[in-house]
Amino acid sequence: MSEHSTTSDMIHWKKNFYLFLTGQFLSGITSMTVQYSIIWYLTKTTGSATVLSFALLLGMLPMVLLSPFAGPLIDRWNKKVLLMVTDIIVAIFALILSIVGAISADFPLWLVFVSLLVRSVAQTFHMPTIQSIYQQWYLKMS
């Protein structure tokens, strides 16, 4: 009976793990596509190294400043909820940019900058959460 339970648990674990990996792969691809599109848009419309530098700063500074605090917070919070919230926030800002892009001839730069900032804050919590989940799964199954 316990052998059947162990086999069932292993199959369930593998199914959840592959589902999680697929979801994270799709999330990562779409997130990178949006990020690339934003940089391409800024390059094409402004041609300004200053604007690109500011965009890079907004994309990196939250990670540098928040990363030391993110790990302990992630360990205390519900990781499943945290992953969903960060993915939803990133998706909402991508949706806002796409709607504004469809309605308007061009994006206001402030909206692009706010989007980069929010996406960076979300990624600061998203990536360590994924790493923590991988570690928990590995320890649980080994």
Nearest to 33 by CA among 98, 130, 121, 99: 98
Alpha helix ranges (H) inside 47-108: 49-76, 79-103
Record the pTM. Answer: 0.80
Q: How many helices (H) and strands (E) does the chain have?
A: 4, 0
Instruction: Report pLDDT for 34.
Output: 86
Residue 61: pLDDT band with limits 50, 70, 90 = very high
Instruction: Report pLDDT for 1.
Output: 42
**16-23 contact pairs (CB < 8 A, 24+):** 17/137, 20/133
User: Is pLDDT larger for residue 78 or for residue 135?
Assistant: 78
